[in-house]
Amino acid sequence: MDLSRDQLLYMYRMMLTIRRFEEQAIEFFTQGRIRGSMHLYIGEEAVAVGVCSALRLEDYITSTHRGHGHCLAKGARLDYTMAELLGKATGYCKGKGGSMHIADLDTGNLGANGIVAAGVPIATGAALAAQYRGTDQVAVAFFGDGATNQGVWHESLNLAAIWKLPIVYVCENNLYAITVPAREALSVTDVAERAKSYNIPGVVVDGNDVLQVYQAARTAVQRAREGQGPTLIECKTYRYEGHYKGDPCVYRSPEEVRQWKETRDPIKNFATFLMEKGGVSPQVLDQIQWEVEAEIAEASRFALDSPEPEEENLYEDVFVSC
């Protein structure tokens, strides 16, 4: 592993940031400050952080309905992201998108998406644009296990394979497509097996181990950047919350959830790794935790204090005015 101590601590900090951000979002949701549907990433932080740590700022990602983690890991600001969740004028989408549609083109994030698998062809197209323009940018499409049953998912992998596009397909297999267990909905045990149909590499990693995810992503990104085409990475992971905030989770046992939380938590396990193998003292991790708490508090204050969008801007941004 070629990661410096700073990079390792950055990964820890970012995973913790995503988790604390979402815990705060749950509070706002419970208070009725966040409307509509909100899909939480808690438990899956290692995937976004591991993959985005292998990317450059100018590389592209497309995200999913469960998108807060990708957005922050790619470099979005906490304050604008939280403001968008609260529907404020200062949010990334001026309050017009909300939790499910956050995009930040300055950090290469082409957006979260409310339609399962819809970001996959969009990322494929971003990779096509990179190839067409002769840049060495790479695109990453994040998606869940459920998305791999959609037609456009298969169409996209085929396109990327025949055109050797610079893209990495990252499956977050959290075992359930809304409420349906993956074993009932997938024709394969591992999503990665589907790579064979498209004659591209498919690898399985422990999605709760940020270093494993990073390692796989780094190899795939390098391959893409060198013009060797796409890779499919399947990250086995788990979401602690339901599909959406408020999901009663009748499809899985509390025992299963407890086991994942206790034995496979990506943040807790990485903290142990850092202390046992990385020579990081508990004080350093505590310090990071306090800093993260303070950043979340500041972003939340910003979001709460921000103005509501004006009605007069309702018709703005339907079209680029020419």
Partner 1 sequence: MREITYLQAITEALREEMQRDQDVFLMGEDIGLHGGIFGATKGLFQEFGPHRVRNTPISEAGFVGAAIGAAVANTRPVVELMYVDFTMVAMDQIVNQAAKLRYMFGGKARVPLVIRTQQGGGRGNAAQHSQSLEAWFMHVPGIKVVVPATPADAKGLLKTAIRDDNPVLFLEHKLLYGTKGMVPTHDYTVPFGQALVMREGQDVTLVSYSYTLLKALQAAEALANEGVSVEVIDLRTLVPLDLPTVIASAQKTGRVVVCHEGHKRCGAGAELAALVMEEAFDYLDAPVQRVGSLDVPIPYNGNLENKVLPQAEQIIAAVKAIL
Interface residue list for partner 1 (CB under 8 A): 60, 62, 91-97, 101, 103-105, 110-111, 113-115, 118, 120-130, 132-133, 139, 151-152, 155-156, 158-159, 162, 316-320, 322
**Residue 265 beta carbon to partner 1: minimum distance, rounded to whole angstroms:** 33
Is 182 within 8 Å of 199 (Cβ atoms)? no
When the beta carbons of 52 and 127 are compared against partner 1, the nearer one is 127
Q: Shortest distance, CB of residue 5 to partner 1, whole angstroms?
A: 35
Nearest to 48 by CA among 33, 62, 27: 62
Nearer to partner 1, 122 or 171 (CB): 122
- Tell me the closest approach of the beta carbon of residue 142 to partner 1, in angstroms: 14
Residue closer to partner 1 by CB (options 198, 260) is 198
Nearest-approach distance from CB 132 to partner 1, in angstroms:
6
- Residue number with CB closer to partner 1 (77 or 101): 101
Q: Residue 313, Cα to own-chain centre: how many angstroms?
A: 30
Q: Which is nearer to partner 1, 123 or 210 (CB)?
A: 123
Distance of CA 82 to the CA centre of its chain: 16
Nearest C-alpha neighbor of 220 from the set 143, 140, 160 = 140
Cα torsion 268, 271, 277, 282 to 10°: value is -130
Q: What values do phi and psi take at 94, rounded to 5?
A: 55, 30
Nearest distance from residue 279's CB to partner 1, in Å?
Answer: 42
Which structure tokens are listed for 156? 């996209």
Closest separation in Å from C-beta 216 to partner 1: 23
Looking at the DSSP bridge assignments, the partners of residue 233 are: 170, 203
Q: How many helices (H) and strands (E) does the chain have?
A: 11, 7
Structure tokens that stand for 217 in this block: 């992503």
- Residue among 91 and 146 whose Cβ is closer to partner 1: 91
Tell how far CA 277 is from the center of its chain: 27
The two tokens of residue 281 are 């003292």
